[in-house]
Chain A
Amino acid sequence: MQLLNTLLIGITAGSIYSLMAIAFVLVWRSTRVVNFAQAGMALLSTYFGYEAVSRLGSFWIALPVAMIGGALFAALVELVLMRLLVKHASSGPIAGVAPIIATLGLLGVIRSVISMIWGGQDLRIVAPISNNGFTINGSTLVFSPLKLLVLVVVVVLLILLSILFQKTNLGLALRASAHAPEIARLSGVRVDSVRTLGWALAGAAGAVAGLFQTVNGNGNFSPDSIDFSLLLVSGFIAAVIGGLDSLLGAVLGGLFLGISISFVLMYISSGLFFIAPFVILLIVLFVRPQGIIGVKAGRRA
């Protein structure tokens, strides 16, 4: 029973990491930047969702509001910050680290502005359904209707994303400009707009991750909440495990990370919560630096 519980907790947490990892991968594929502000964007979207919940009273309206808000903000960041960055900071000793530094700066700006607008205290989003575990044969599982919901929504989103990428012209354009921007441009793909779209999709995915991370925890969130630092690190690690270039890899990486952390906490020590992701990342980087999917399959996704 404990084994099953651990596994289910891991899968739920892992599916949220997967969403975050997908956001990293979408941005990496479109602009070759690891967006360290991703968690800040997710946090901002969570505040959008909070506003929607408190005005309209429904989590189900808040979710699309947060997604749209997150997507618009991410698109704006790409249009303003990233294009300026490419123009100004692509030479000299700074070139290699400029995107990293710029996105970290953006993370700081987002956090400060959020604290200025909403204050630093904890706000609360109430989960739409119960987080009390299912009962089977008289014993209570940790797995709850809410966790099931998280899983279902993540799976639905993944299916929608893969339809978008595999079956539509837009998806073809997205894949083409990630794989070979120059050739895509020659064949009439508007690579710049497609890049913005990639960021927008990432913003939406991050928004869902942020909302679910909040309700899957205790429902509280604040600009300094450690949940979002953890979301940043876990999402990044999941993306790296998956090879940073593959959507399927991101999903598998997220699940692998979620389940591993869950087992470490249950069977070794719950005090290792913050250091476990780092150790798992180091092990993966040493054993399979190209990610679990590997380069070849990664290009296909």
Chain B
Amino acid sequence: MHKSKKQSTHLPLFILGGIVLVILSGIVDELRVYQGATIAVYVIAISSIILLTGYSGQVSLGHGALMAVGAYAAAVLRAEFNVPIILCFIAAVLAAAVGGTLLGAAAARLSGPYLAGTTLALAIGLPSLANQFPILGGEQGLAFDVGFPPLALGEDFTQYKWYFWIAALAALISMWSVRNILNSAYGRSWRAGRGNEVAAQLAGINTARSKVLAFTISAGIAGLAGALLAMTIGTVSPSAFPLALSFSLLTGAVLSGISTLGGVIIGSVVLVAIPEIADVVAHRLGSSESVTTNLPGLIVSGLLILTVLFVPNGPVEQHRARKAKHEAAHNSTKK
């Protein structure tokens, strides 16, 4: 299986992507910049699901809760101790990763529906814990303020653009790391364990440990996404991390193609675009308010079902499979 040349880490590609994003953020309007920041947050969160579900084969419906852990860690440090913002984000990753390790240790003994149900119980239970500790601000939540953009960026550099820069940078760094982790020996051992656990164990992989590691890394990434989400909203509260968030992330991952990291941008853009599309559709139809407010939810859930039924492995993977089939057919006719 060893490739003859050392695989490149694609660093220049990601740097180029960053430059494109910086230029883009300068030419679009404020709303788009804000949506761009949201997309970047989703990219990070969905890539954590892809790593966990697509590669290591574990389902989590509790990633909303892990995002909450990261967000609260960052907000408490910021509000109580006025810690520099970069350290807040690092703390978010670490706190969520610790939570993920604990959850992963339990998860390694569970499979499929058991794991899904357990993480579901966590997603419902954990945010309500915030009401138990006064330092977490109860139902009201905590303010999370990353501060104004540095003056060196110019007078007319807006707050939203600053959010976008932070989120986009975080997204590029985490995508780059995830990509390289997935291509490393860890990524291969996850895939081996997902495909056939017994065979992987025979090949010398400690599948239990590799599953816990996948949970830890995935949780850390989710924690970063949680802190960034809190940044774009400005506060952290239990209601910012509802069960619906965990479901949206799963939908995003399925739309992206559960095992294609490159598709992650598809899922993120769709998740951000759906409310807007639904709004347009509802207005065009002139429908009542209860239809308008619930249309986005219906579209997201409907898409989830349709994707699982008809493009189960994602659009990118589907296209690749079709192309491979086509080529195979072509080659056999040539002979």
Chain A interfacial positions (CB closer than 8 Å to B): 28, 33-34, 36, 81, 84-85, 88-89, 92-102, 104-109, 111-113, 115-116, 119-120, 229-230, 232-233, 236-237, 240, 269, 271-278, 281-282, 285-286, 289
Contacts and interface: CB of A to CB of B under 8 A. Distances in A.
Interface of B: 53-54, 57, 59, 61, 106, 109-110, 112-114, 116-118, 120-122, 124-126, 128-129, 131-132, 194, 243-244, 247, 250-251, 254, 258-259, 290-291, 293-295, 297-298, 300-305, 308-310, 312-313, 317
B68 to A, nearest CB: 13
Contacts of B251: 105
Given A104-B304, A229-B243, A278-B121, A109 B106 contact: no
Given A36-B120, A275-B128, A277-B125, A240 B309 contact: no
Contacts of B243: 229
17 contacts: A89-B312, A93-B258, A93-B313, A94-B312, A97-B53, A104-B247, A105-B251, A108-B301, A112-B295, A112-B301, A113-B298, A115-B293, A229-B243, A274-B128, A275-B125, A275-B126, A278-B122
Nearest to B114: A240
Given A85-B308, A116-B291, A285-B110, 12 more contacts: A81-B305, A85-B309, A88-B310, A93-B57, A97-B59, A104-B247, A108-B298, A109-B305, A111-B297, A120-B294, A233-B120, A286-B109
A3 B298 CA distance: 45
Contact of B121 (A81, A92, A233): A233
A163 to B, nearest CB: 29
B59 A108 contact: no
Specify which of A81, A93, A99 lies most central, judged by the most chain B CB atoms within 10 Å of its CB: A93
A271 B113 contact: no
Given A106-B305, A112-B294, A289 B109 contact: yes
A267 to B, nearest CB: 16
A232 B309 contact: no
Contacts of A101: 250, 254, 304, 308
Contact of A236 (B117, B122, B293, B313): B117
